[in-house]
Amino acid sequence: MKIKVILIIILFVVIAISSIKYIDLCISKKYETQLEGLSPTKEQLEEVNNLEKKIDGDKKIAFSIIVLSLVAIYPISLMKK
């Protein structure tokens, strides 16, 4: 019983942390890649494109962790004493 509770608590903490990170990545993509009105150079555009790709990859990883944690809760909840 204690192991079950500990595992579920750990999964909820992982879900909470990953959700916060996902929201942070969504916000940072919006503001860190904004170049409107700055007449950006070619180098700045390349840097922004690389940053967008990195942020998108990190968002996919965070979302995958959230989904896997949610899926893992079900088998743990079925565990018996």
Q: Which residue has the higher pLDDT, 77 or 57?
A: 57
| pLDDT on residue 44 | 84
Q: Residue 10 above 90 pLDDT?
A: yes
The parent domain of residue 62 ranges over: 2-78
pLDDT digit string, tens, across residues 19-67: 999 999 999 888 777 766 677 788 888 888 899 999 999 999 999 999 9
Tokens of 47: 């840097």
Q: How many domains does the chain have?
A: 1
Q: What is the DSSP letter of 1?
A: -
Question: Which has the closest alpha carbon to 71: 14, 22, 5, 28?
Answer: 14
pLDDT at 81 over 70: no
The answer to whether residues 17 and 9 touch, using CB atoms and an 8 Å cutoff, is no
